[in-house]
Amino acid sequence: MAKQSKTTNAATELEAAVLGVVWRDGPCTRYAIRQDFRESRAPRWSGSAGAIYPLVQRLELRGLVRSKSTVRGKRPQRDYRITPRGRSVFERWLRAPFGPAEAALLHDPLRTWVLFLDALPLDEARSLVSGAIEVLGQEVLRSKEDFREHANDKSPLSRLAARNALLLSQARIRWLVEVKEALQP
Amino acid sequence: MAKQSKTTNAATELEAAVLGVVWRDGPCTRYAIRQDFRESRAPRWSGSAGAIYPLVQRLELRGLVRSKSTVRGKRPQRDYRITPRGRSVFERWLRAPFGPAEAALLHDPLRTWVLFLDALPLDEARSLVSGAIEVLGQEVLRSKEDFREHANDKSPLSRLAARNALLLSQARIRWLVEVKEALQP
DNA sequence: CCGCTCATGTAACTGGTTACATGATTTA
DNA sequence: TAAATCATGTAACCAGTTACATGAGCGG
């Protein structure tokens, strides 16, 4: 799976994403990094403190980010920024984000689910599929909304991310329609 | 994330998938279950012994599967089959496979990747995207092959699973083409 | 008889998670 | 002034992984 960072300067996907956030959002606290993950609709990471704080600590030990204690009011806090070395590790990841194996096939829980759907009566299976289609329909709406929210960004990338979510959801819906048709008696 | 199975008879996704394999493939060894996951192109689980053996053990403790020692030749082995209780837990999972949160948005590593692509020079980013498109093109071919392999199955479900992979890959390709266009100077 | 597959099993590790605890600052 | 948010941090846990070890059976 994701390569460990011991041998070279390779980064796991979460490490790279954190480096990316620090790179993009300039000096920022770990709390802000967490927020970025928590607000993102991608379900892979929760942005839990227990993940982010130690990870950023490790990045600093490896010299990929550095921090400066700034005092906002009375409370001290640490603002992190990416170092040149971190920047180069990040670029290396951008140039080789993952092997073909990882990039290739997405894990779709619905695929697992459908695989066993004939353990249920046909008509029930069909109505469950209809339900899933509805849920995904709402997901489409959310993606469109998300897209509109980034309509005026200078960089198109956030918009494109929302577009990714939209296209994937639509593809799944079309697939589920096929599934439903295949489940006719 | 995935619910724990302590409170009720709920099953995690892997537990459910294992139950499904045992249900579908009749009495089978844990080794055979592992093979099923290892041969599957879905990257979520490796089918490692360290995952499957203890998990099946736990399922047996919970009364969801039972095993019988059969002796093939001289070597003893355990054949597992699903119990009525296991069957009902499995069906419960089929009826409520996941909350909207889990079902909703797929995690696409390419989405994370693209989000930071403007850390690279435009032309390099564009050529990286082209590379990704090519990789996904091969993935499409594999899915089509997979589809053909299940062309004569009695049940359409394996074919539909391959179809899911195909549609998702095609959607990602179309998306990457959009990304490439958006990266024009 | 050598190497591959079948089959079982365990130990060490990893990359996260939830949950908790603390306290400052801001907002209603 | 109470409640929400900002900000940091840690402990316990969990579901998986890799890697290793063992040994039977089988095909070339």
- Write the pLDDT tens digit of every residue in A161-173: 999 999 999 999 9
User: Which residues, 6 or more positions from B58, have their beta carbon under 8 angstroms from its beta carbon?
Assistant: none
Tell me the pLDDT tens digit for each residue of A106-150: 999 999 999 999 999 999 999 999 999 999 999 999 999 999 999
Interface of B with A in 139-178 (CB under 8 A): 139, 142, 155-158, 160-161, 163-165, 167-172, 174-175, 178
Helix axes A84-95, B122-149, angle to 10 degrees: 40
B58 touches chain A (CB under 8 A): no
Q: Are A131 and A109 in contact (CB under 8 A)?
A: no
Query: What stretches in chain B show pLDDT beneath 50?
Result: 1-7
**Residues 62-81, chain A, CB closer than 7 Å to nucleic strand C:** 72-75
Sort out which chain A residues have CB atoms less than 8 A from B43's CB and list them. Answer: 101-102, 104-105, 107
The answer to whether B144 touches B170, Cβ cutoff 8 Å, is no
Q: Which pLDDT belongs to residue A101?
A: 54
Mean pLDDT of A24-33: 94
Q: How far is the CA of B56 from the C1' of D15 (A)?
A: 14
pLDDT of residue B184: 87
pLDDT digits (tens, 9 = 90+) for B97-113: 666 655 679 999 999 99
| pLDDT of A95 | 92
- HSE of B61, CA atoms in CB hemisphere, 13 A: 8
Which residue is listed with tokens 């539909």? Answer: B160
Is any Cβ of chain B less than 8 angstroms from the Cβ of A120? yes
Note the helical H segments in B62-121: 84-95, 100-104, 109-115
CA–CA dist A155, B177 (Å, integer): 17
Of A176 and B42, the one with more pLDDT: A176
Angle made by CA atoms A158, A162, A168, in degrees to the nearest 5: 145
According to the model, what pLDDT value does residue A71 have?
78
The per-residue pLDDT for range A83-117, each reduced to its tens digit, is 999 999 999 999 986 666 556 799 999 999 999 99
Q: Which of A176, A108, A180 is nearest to B13 (CA)?
A: A108
Distance between A29 CA and the closest CA of chain B, angstroms? 19
Percentage with pLDDT > 70 across chain B: 91
Give the pLDDT score at A99.
66
Q: Which two tokens stand for residue B77?
A: 């082995």
Confidence check: pLDDT of A9 > 90? no
Residue B12 approaches strand C within 7 Å at CB? no
Residue among B132, B160, B169 minimizing CB distance to A114 = B160
User: pLDDT tens digit string along A30-63?
Assistant: 999 999 999 998 889 999 999 999 999 999 999 9
Burial class (CB in 10 A: 0-12, 13-18, 19+), B92: middle
Mutate to test the interface with B, among A14, A48, A94, A98 (most CBs of B within 10 A): A94
At B103 the pLDDT is 67
Which of A 4-33 have CB under 7 A of nucleic chain C? 4, 12-15
**Average pLDDT of chain A to the nearest whole number:** 90
Q: Does A23 touch chain B (CB under 8 A)?
A: yes
Please tell me the total number of residues recorded for chain B in this structure.
185
Asked if residue A47 keeps its beta carbon closer than 7 A to nucleic acid strand C, the reply is yes
**pLDDT for B100:** 61
pLDDT of residue B31: 96
Span CA (B51) to C1' (C2), Å: 31
Give me the pLDDT at residue A96, please. 84
User: pLDDT at position A131, please?
Assistant: 93
Is the Cβ of B27 closer than 8 Å to some Cβ of chain A? no
* Per-residue pLDDT at A2 exceeds 60: no
